[in-house]
């Protein structure tokens, strides 16, 4: 076998070094390009996609100790509304719910609503986790969902005019649009970038501007005839990457927020309730806990999870399509459109 000369070996070694350098450079370029593309990733309920037209200048902001909270525009004055004189109260909550999936076909929802007979309760989702409003809102900066909003407004008008007990449900701290517009009000990571949970950016539950925003939405919905506002997915997320310093635990912080909201609306005609809260806390007045995603076999465990409630049977409302008899001891709302969960 012919031996490889020293000169040939030297050339091969040099070539291998060049190859490794080029490979390392290529990998570095791929990593940098991936980081660059990450700035344009937009999270939606359907998944993630790239949007090269979005404003990325607000995505990474390193806060300073003197950073001030961005004030919420107050150009919309909303008064507490009087209850609709045609409204008929139900002693126990029983009726139907309309979720965001159903609202993708507003005409079908309107037709189904027109088949109902009052008195009964109708809960309708009106703000999603991406921050879109599913009704015509006068709140500054509100962006409407890409559906036929006028038909949803017609659904609301029909419910109000025909004596139904109206309940609105909104995503509470999941709000991508508000977080992007108010960086200092959002939960962030150590590098200053917005923290993502369940595909959405989250607002800081303890931020005063965030609370003002939620109060403003509740007041506007009350003007439209809703007697009860459900703050859904009411929790402080447990993300380990969230940078948050406080003497209080996240459980204590979220309980304080609930107390603040309940006290603020205590003297009004608006009932504030909570959807799937991760923290167990006492309620006041006519407030409720709305629980979804529970099967018949899970009813008992779900009820035990809210030990702070004084009267569980009257304060818990289950949202379910199940006909399981174990739900019969509690207040229940079922889907308006068949085939929905």
Q: Do 276 and 292 meet the contact criterion of CB atoms below 8 Å apart?
A: yes
The predicted pLDDT at position 50 comes to: 53
Residue with token string 């919309």 = 76
SS3 at position 254 = helix
What is the per-residue pLDDT for 205?
94
Name the residue among 118, 120, 146 with its Cα closest to residue 134.
146
CA torsion, ordered 89, 92, 96, 100, to nearest 10 deg: 90
What is the distance between the alpha carbons of residues 318 and 326, in angstroms, rounded to a whole number? 11
Strand runs (DSSP E) across 164-293, as ranges? 165-171, 196-197, 200-201, 228-232, 271-275, 289-292
User: pLDDT at position 84, please?
Assistant: 45
Cα–Cα distance measured from residue 56 to residue 50, given in angstroms and rounded to the nearest whole number: 12
Q: Where are the beta strands (DSSP E) in the chain?
A: 41-44, 47-50, 94-98, 121-127, 165-171, 196-197, 200-201, 228-232, 271-275, 289-292, 316-319, 331-335
pLDDT digits (tens, 9 = 90+) for 76-107: 444 444 444 444 444 689 999 999 999 999 99
Grouping H, G, I as helix, E, B as strand and the rest as coil, residue 9 is: helix
Q: Are 210 and 234 contacting, i.e. CB atoms less than 8 angstroms apart?
A: no
pLDDT at 91: 66
Tell me how far apart the alpha carbons of residues 247 and 125 are, in angstroms, rounded to a whole number: 35
DSSP for residue 12? H
Low-confidence ranges of the chain (pLDDT < 50): 35, 38-39, 41-49, 53-90
3-state secondary structure 31-86: HHHHHHHHCCEEEECCEEEECCCCCCCCCECCCCCCCCCCCCCCCCCCCCCCCCCC
Per-residue confidence (pLDDT) for residue 26, from 0 to 100 = 80
Token pair in block for residue 87:
């409204």
Query: Domain segments of the chain: what residues?
Result: 70-335
The string of pLDDT tens digits covering residues 193-211 is 999 999 999 999 999 999 9
Q: Read off the pTM.
A: 0.76
Q: Give the rounded distance of the alpha carbon of 124 from its chain centre.
A: 14
Q: How large is the angle between the packed helices 149-161 and 106-113, nearest 10 degrees?
A: 10
Helix/strand/coil for 133: strand
For domain 70-335, which architecture applies?
Answer: Alpha-Beta Barrel (3.20)
Q: How far is CA 85 from the centre of its chain?
A: 32
Element (H, E) at 260: helix 250-264
Least Cα distance to 279 among 248, 250, 246, 247 occurs for 250
289-304 pLDDT, tens digit per residue, is 999 999 999 999 999 9
CA distance 191 to 203: 17
């Amino acid at each position: 076998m012919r031996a490889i000369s020293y000169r040939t070996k030297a050339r091969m070694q040099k070539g291998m070094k060049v190859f490794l350098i080029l490979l390392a450079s290529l990998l570095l370029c791929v990593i940098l390009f991936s980081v660059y593309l990450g700035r344009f990733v937009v999270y939606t309920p359907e998944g993630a996609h790239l949007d090269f037209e979005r404003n990325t200048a607000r995505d990474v902001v390193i806060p300073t100790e003197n950073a001030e909270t961005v004030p919420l525009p107050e150009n919309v004055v909303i008064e507490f509304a009087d209850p609709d004189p045609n409204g008929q109260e139900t002693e126990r909550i029983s009726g139907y719910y309309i979720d965001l999936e159903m609202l993708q076909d507003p005409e079908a929802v309107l037709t189904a609503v027109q088949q109902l007979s009052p008195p009964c309760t109708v809960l309708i989702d009106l703000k999603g986790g991406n921050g879109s409003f599913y009704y015509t809102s006068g709140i500054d900066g509100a962006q409407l969902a890409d559906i036929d909003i006028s038909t949803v407004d017609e659904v609301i008008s029909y419910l109000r005019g025909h004596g139904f007990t109206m309940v609105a449900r909104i995503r509470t701290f999941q709000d991508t649009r508000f977080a992007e517009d108010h960086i200092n009000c959002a939960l962030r990571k150590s590098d200053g970038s917005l923290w993502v949970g369940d595909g959405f950016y989250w607002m800081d539950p303890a931020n005063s501007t965030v609370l003002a925003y939620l109060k403003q939405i509740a007041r506007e919905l009350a003007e439209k005839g809703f007697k009860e506002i459900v703050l859904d997915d009411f929790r402080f997320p447990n993300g380990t990457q969230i940078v948050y310093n406080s003497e209080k635990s996240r459980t204590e912080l979220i309980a304080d927020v609930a107390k603040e909201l309940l006290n603020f609306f205590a003297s009004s005609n608006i009932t504030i309730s909570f959807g799937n809260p991760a923290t167990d806390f006492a309620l006041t007045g006519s407030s409720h806990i709305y629980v979804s995603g529970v099967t018949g076999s899970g009813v008992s465990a779900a009820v035990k999870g809210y030990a702070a409630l004084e009267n569980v049977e009257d304060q818990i409302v289950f949202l379910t399509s199940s006909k399981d008899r174990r739900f019969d001891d509690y207040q229940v709302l079922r889907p308006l459109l068949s085939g929905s969960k």
